[in-house]
A and B are shown apart, each in its own frame.
Chain A
Amino acid sequence: MKRHLISTGDLTRDDALLILDTAEELARVSQRSIKKLPTLRGRTVVNLFFEDSTRTRISFEAAAKRLSADVINFSAKGSSVSKGESLKDTALTLEAMGADAVVIRHSASGAPHRLATWVRGSVVNAGDGTHEHPTQALLDAFSIRRRLGRLEGLKIAVVGDVLHSRVARSNVLLLHTLGAEVTLVAPPTLLPVTVETWPCQISYDLDAVLPKSDVVMMLRVQLERMNAAYFPSAREYSRRYGLDRDRFARLHDDAIVMHPGPMNRGMEISAEVADSPRSTIVEQVANGVTVRMAVLYLLLGGSEPAIGGAE
């Protein structure tokens, strides 16, 4: 039975489109004065966050609450995890509390996958290590489709720190499934070794890719994950891979700029570009709640989940 959302690679084209179409209808709910739906009344969603993340946790919390689910927030700080409890014991505790879904963020790649073997409820990956962040990819795809009307055949450049990015992998897999052509642009040191097995193109030259792109997705340079020297200096990185005013001017007129946040303004993206009307950064946040509502509804709303990978 399909019941988890751990990787966008588990989603078929039909699954992905069902999520986007459901989100499209739910977006209308966020415009009315009563934003709540009774659909998940009596269901419990646990937000299990082993890593700091304000925006993703709040987004999941808002999504679950708008569907009337009960939400339990569990963050590693100040919990029994800091006393040394293992992931498995935490999972069994949640299981005993009757969690219908567990939204997990963990610094270790593969943690949601392990968790899925221990709990009966649906597991939703909210970011695991440098592996995946499927709901971010879904909200990116949703934002692109809302702006440009389609995904099929679009040329999408994903620029920056691919090595440490779970967003990049999830996006490449999902956008490929949905028929877009993805090009990763990064210095060779910031590309994972297995990248040639990903369904995408690779380039080291941002200026060559920009004029052909319909969407430019800037990734955050994850300084906190960088223990080695991946590039000579922040300034040099910014010069070669940052999206500044001059590069922005070389995009074609309908192209849009995205960023999953939080941004390093002046590093991978200049403030001017981030605040331009062709940047989707603010609407990506609003779309995040909508897309997560769609995912929770499709996983928990019926007798059995309508999407996601089997375990």
Chain B
Amino acid sequence: MSDARNQARAVLEGPDIHRALTRIAHEILERTRGAESVVLLGIPTRGATLAHRIAGRIAQFEGIKVPVGAIDVTMYRDDLRLRPARPLGRTELPPDGVDGRTVVLVDDVLYSGRTVRAALDALNDVGRPRAVQLATLVDRGHRELPIRADYVGKNLPTSKSEKVKVFLEETDGRDAVVLIKEDDR
């Protein structure tokens, strides 16, 4: 990603991300009657980071400790054979599992919906949640499957030639959502 040839524009900065996550945390509390029997499961790596941040906010607002975990979807992807086998992310389920609970899947960018489909399959193999919801920091459109998010940090209209990259303090040293236009396409 050379910034000279590609135009990179930050569409969300640190404070925007902070506010978006705060709002998502409030919405989850509202729509699940105080996060009752909610489990937050992030999709590695950045979705998992976001899930922990949302859980932190819920703890701060209501003093409830919502179980947080991560669910890796690599082995369930439908595009595995289009690229060389890739390294696996970490699956970490809360000790009480997901059976009978409301699972909120958390991802950084919602695009084709294929990752979420893979996550639903993966979830199927670890238990039977009562309901599954989806939270995403950025929804950039261009869905290829009938999937929509329940909680959206920001709707970001994009063209397919653009790339959306999420940077988070924990993994990348700063908070930002960057839209990259590739000139040569």
A residues adjacent to B (C-beta < 8 A): 18, 21-22, 25-26, 28-29, 32, 34, 36-39, 67, 297-306
Contacts and interface: CB of A to CB of B under 8 A. Distances in A.
B85 to A, nearest CB: 4
Contacts of B72: 25
For the complex of A and B, 3 pairs with smallest distance between CB atoms: A302-B85, A301-B85, A25-B88
A306 B86 contact: yes
Contacts of A305: 84-85
Interface in B56-83: 72, 75-76, 80-83
B75 A304 contact: no
B89 interface: yes
Interface of B: 72, 75-76, 80-93, 121, 125-126
Given A38-B76, A305-B85, 12 more contacts: A18-B87, A21-B87, A25-B89, A28-B92, A32-B93, A32-B125, A37-B125, A302-B81, A302-B83, A302-B86, A305-B84, A306-B84
15 contacts: A22-B88, A25-B91, A28-B91, A28-B92, A32-B93, A34-B126, A37-B75, A37-B76, A38-B121, A39-B75, A39-B76, A298-B85, A302-B80, A302-B81, A302-B84
Given A36-B125, A37-B76, A303 B81 contact: yes
Contacts of A303: 81-84
- The A contact surface, by secondary structure, is loop
Contacts of B86: 302, 306
Contacts of B87: 18, 21-22
Contact of A297 (B75, B83, B125): B75
Contacts of A302: 80-81, 83-86
A32 B126 CA distance: 7
Contact of B80 (A21, A22, A28, A39): A39
Tell me which of A26, A29, A36 has the highest count of chain B C-beta atoms within 10 A of its own C-beta.
A29
Nearest to B44: A25
B181 to A, nearest CB: 28
B121 A306 contact: no
A5 B134 CA distance: 41
Contacts of B83: 302-303
Nearest to B92: A28
A297 B93 CA distance: 22
B85 A297 contact: yes
Contacts of B92: 28
Nearest to A42: B81
Contacts of A34: 125-126
A39 B87 CA distance: 13
A67 to B, nearest CB: 8
A305 B83 CA distance: 9
Nearest to A67: B75
A301 B90 CA distance: 18
Contacts of B126: 32, 34
Contacts of B81: 302-303
A258 to B, nearest CB: 26
Nearest to A36: B125
A21 B84 CA distance: 16
Contact of A306 (B82, B85, B90): B85
Contact of B75 (A18, A38, A306): A38
Nearest to A1: B84
A18 B89 CA distance: 12
Contacts of B91: 25, 28-29
Contacts of B76: 37-39
B175 to A, nearest CB: 27
Contact of A301 (B80, B93, B121): B80
Nearest to A297: B85
A145 to B, nearest CB: 16
A217 to B, nearest CB: 28
A25 B86 CA distance: 13
A303 B119 CA distance: 21
B167 to A, nearest CB: 24
A303 B72 CA distance: 20
B119 to A, nearest CB: 13
Contact of B90 (A18, A25, A38): A25
Tell me which of A38, A304, A305, A306 has the highest count of chain B C-beta atoms within 10 A of its own C-beta.
A38
A28 B72 CA distance: 11
A25 B93 CA distance: 13
B101 to A, nearest CB: 16
Tell me which of A21, A22, A32, A301 has the highest count of chain B C-beta atoms within 10 A of its own C-beta.
A301
